[in-house]
């Protein structure tokens, strides 16, 4: 067997594989001999079928199969030994004149080669890493929410501004019939607010859904309509009042603090606010990190210049998926995924350059930390290490979970790399400002 490569340019090559008779003949002969021992052909005893007949019936199929196996193994070995960084998979060149009756064969494969490039994390323009802080307004709002959540419901005769109103939204045409607990701070429509204030249990209040709530998405919760319907919904609904309550705020005392955080973990309103601030900013940190990671990714893709073997990749995409694509579809698919491919190459270069690795010990520790967080959400604050080990072992026995966690952990390692190496500036911003600037 002989394998040669012709480099067309820096991004494209053709590999030629020459297979001679001595490369496959012994294997083909052995398989046909085994066939002869077990073949059932009318007129011949089992194991006594003439080899000429076996070759006539099975020879071509066995030859094709063995040559293809030999070809794939040789190509894979060649790419590994030559350390060729290829994109996609080798594409066989069409051979309409291939003669399977010949003794030797030649096959050619097109290769798309990964480009050579360098990644510079320290660009001239600094990337902003937003540190989201919990301001006094937000902390006070959280304290108010806690006091309401743990407060006592007191029945009312009529609706006031602070009432919690339990009732049913109805519209027969849209098949709306949904129980809901309504508070007036959600209402945007002054007409609806005026109609509700002073209403009593049993009253039926008519409302128009257009502009009813401050956030149109609330229609999904209160009326149980689909997301696509919520934004343009313009119908009359009735709200049948079944119960009216006000909520007496819970006292900020030790009993409440112990319910929230465990005995004597928090002993004053000042400590409560400090705890809320710490927990909130820890959660906000994940959002700030994700924004930073997205911005660095965008920066690297835009500022790391290299060419791709676009024509080869589009040709490869035509047959790479479950459904075959025509040339126009493959071009569209390439354009949709080009950025992603570029970042994968950049990421791979950074992982190699900075020797970023995910070891099994890293993965187990990461899984145990994740489990502890999940258990804490259900009130299990101090799980035993053996319990964590057992759960982590079950998770890491699942190949898909290992893949998912490995990707998350590598993303964390890249994030730390970017924080340490990239040209960044830290900017403090409140959560409301962050949401308004990036999600409104």
Residue written as token pair 């998405």: 217
- For residue 69, is it within any domain? yes
Give yes or no for a contact between 220 and 226, defined as CB atoms under 8 angstroms apart: yes
The Cα angle at residue 271 between residues 267 and 272, in degrees rounded to 5: 90
Cα 391 to Cα 382, 397, 407, distances in angstroms:
15, 10, 20
User: Exposed (0-12), middle (13-18) or buried (19+): which is 163, by Cβ within 10 Å?
Assistant: buried
8 A C-beta contact, residue 149 and residue 260: no
Query: Is residue 184 predicted with pLDDT exceeding 90?
Result: yes
User: Quick one: 284 and 424 in the same domain?
Assistant: yes
Q: Looking at the structure, tell me whether residues 172 and 25 fall in a common domain.
A: no
Cα separations in angstroms, 135 against 142, 278, 314, 433? 11, 11, 51, 11
pLDDT tens digits, 14-38:
999 999 999 999 999 999 988 888 7
What's the CATH number where 232 sits? 3.10.50.30
Q: Are 393 and 326 in contact (CB under 8 A)?
A: no
Look at residue 309 in the predicted model and tell me its pLDDT. Answer: 97
Domain match, 175 and 296 both: no
The H helix count followed by the E strand count for the chain is 14, 11
Residue 122 lies in a domain: no
What H or E segment, with its residue span, contains residue 5?
strand 2-7
For the chain, what is the mean pLDDT? 92
pLDDT tens-digit map of 391-404: 999 999 999 999 99
- pLDDT value of position 57: 85
d(CA 3, CA 62): 23
Please indicate, yes or no, whether residues 277 and 421 belong to a single structural domain of this protein. Answer: yes
The answer to whether 71 and 107 have CB atoms below 8 angstroms apart is yes
Q: What is the dihedral sign for C-alpha 180, 186, 190, 193?
A: positive
Instruction: Determine the 3-state secondary structure of 268 from DSSP.
Output: coil
Q: Are 106 and 16 in contact (CB under 8 A)?
A: yes
How many of the other CB atoms lie within 10 Å of CB of 313? 20
- Total structural domains within the chain: 3
- The answer to whether position 221 is within a domain reads yes
Q: Last residue of a domain, which of 60, 90, 113?
A: 113
What's the pTM?
A: 0.75
The residue behind tokens 């990671």 is 293
Residue owning tokens 């145990």: 368
Point out the domain boundary residue: 248, 282, 307: 248
Instruction: List, for residues 48-91, the tens digit of each pLDDT value.
Output: 788 888 888 889 999 999 999 999 999 999 999 999 999 999 99
Assess whether 200 and 71 both reside in one domain. no
Task: Output the pLDDT for position 440.
Answer: 61
Instruction: State yes or no: pLDDT of 179 exceeds 70.
Output: yes
| Same domain, yes or no: 288 and 431 | yes
225 and 345, same domain (yes or no): no
Last residue of a domain, one of 98, 113, 128: 113
For residue 296, the domain's CATH number is 1.10.3120
Altogether, the residues listed in the chain come to a count of 440
Based on C-alpha coordinates, what's the Rg of the chain? Answer: 34
314-347 pLDDT tens trace: 999 999 888 899 999 999 999 999 999 999 999 9
If asked whether residues 287 and 395 sit together in one domain, one would say yes
Q: Which residue has the higher pLDDT, 383 or 287?
A: 287
Among residues 285, 256, 258, the alpha carbon closest in space to that of 434 is found at 285
Is residue 319 a part of any domain in this protein? yes
Residues 265, 266, 269, CA angle at the centre, nearest 5°?
175
Q: At 44, which CATH number? A: 3.30.70.1050
Contact 304, 119 (CB under 8 A): yes
| Beta carbons of 122 and 418 less than 8 angstroms apart | no
- The mean pLDDT value for 417-438 works out to 92
Is 254 within a domain?
no
For the stretch 247-273, pLDDT in tens is 999 999 999 999 888 889 999 999 999
Closest CA to 397 of 408, 405, 386, 385: 405
C-alpha to C-alpha distance for 195 and 10, rounded to whole angstroms: 74
For 340-379, the pLDDT digits (tens) are 999 999 999 999 999 999 999 999 999 999 998 888 777 6
Please check whether residue 136 lies inside any domain of the structure.
Answer: no
Q: What is the pLDDT of residues 290-312, one digit of tens each?
A: 999 999 999 999 999 999 999 99
Does a structural domain hold residue 160?
Answer: yes
User: What is the extent of the structural domain holding 399?
Assistant: 269-438
Q: Give the pLDDT score at 38.
A: 79
Is pLDDT at 246 greater than 90 in this prediction? yes
- 274 shares its domain with 242: no
Residue 57, phi then psi, degrees to nearest 5 = -85, -40
The stretch 215-238 carries a mean pLDDT of 89
For the segment 199-208, the average pLDDT, to the nearest whole number, is 95
Distance CA 277, CA 280 (A): 5
Joined tokens for residue 320 = 């790479």
Q: Are residues 325 and 409 in the same domain?
A: yes
Residues 301 and 181 in one domain: no
130 assigned to some structural domain: no
Residues of the chain with pLDDT > 90, as a percent, come to 78
Together in a domain, 414 and 273: yes
């Amino acid at each position: 067997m002989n394998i040669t490569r012709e480099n067309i340019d820096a991004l494209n090559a053709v590999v030629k594989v020459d297979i001679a008779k001595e490369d496959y003949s012994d294997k083909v002969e052995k398989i046909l001999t085994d066939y002869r021992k077990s073949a059932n052909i009318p007129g011949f005893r089992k194991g006594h079928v003439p080899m000429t007949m076996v070759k006539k019936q099975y020879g071509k199929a066995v030859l094709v199969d063995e040559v293809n196996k030999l070809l794939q193994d040789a190509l894979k070995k060649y790419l590994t030994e030559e350390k060729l960084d290829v994109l996609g998979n080798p594409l066989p060149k069409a051979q309409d004149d291939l003669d399977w009756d010949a003794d030797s064969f030649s096959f050619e494969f097109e290769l798309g080669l990964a480009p050579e490039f360098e990644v510079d994390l320290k660009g001239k323009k600094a990337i902003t890493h937003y540190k989201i802080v919990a301001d006094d307004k937000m902390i006070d709002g959280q304290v108010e929410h806690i006091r309401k959540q743990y407060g006592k419901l007191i029945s009312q005769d009529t609706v006031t501004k602070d009432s919690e109103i339990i009732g049913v939204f109805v519209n027969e045409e849209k098949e709306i019939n949904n129980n809901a607990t309504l508070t007036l701070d959600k209402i945007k429509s002054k007409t609806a607010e005026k109609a509700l204030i002073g209403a009593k249990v049993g009253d039926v209040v008519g409302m128009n859904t257009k502009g009813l709530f401050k956030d149109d998405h609330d229609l999904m919760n209160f009326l149980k309509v689909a997301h696509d319907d919520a934004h343009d919904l313009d119908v009359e609904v009735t709200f049948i009042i079944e119960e009216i309550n006000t909520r007496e705020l819970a006292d900020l005392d030790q009993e409440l603090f112990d319910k929230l955080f465990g005995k004597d973990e928090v002993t004053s309103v000042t400590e409560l606010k400090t705890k809320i601030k710490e927990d909130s900013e820890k959660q906000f940190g994940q959002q700030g990190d994700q924004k930073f990671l997205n911005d660095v990714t965008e920066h690297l893709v835009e500022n790391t210049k290299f060419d791709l073997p676009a024509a080869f990749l589009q040709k490869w995409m035509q047959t790479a998926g479950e459904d075959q694509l025509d040339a126009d579809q493959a071009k569209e698919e390439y354009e949709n995924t080009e950025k992603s491919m570029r970042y994968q190459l950049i990421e791979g270069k950074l992982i190699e350059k900075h020797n970023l690795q995910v070891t099994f010990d890293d993965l187990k520790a990461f899984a145990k930390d994740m489990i502890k967080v999940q258990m804490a959400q259900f009130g299990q604050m101090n799980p035993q290490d053996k319990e964590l080990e057992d759960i982590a072992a079950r998770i890491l026995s699942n190949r898909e979970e290992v893949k998912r966690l490995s990707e998350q952990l590598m993303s964390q390692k890249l994030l730390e790399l970017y924080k340490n190496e990239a040209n960044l500036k830290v900017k403090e911003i409140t959560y409301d400002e962050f949401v308004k600037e990036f999600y409104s």
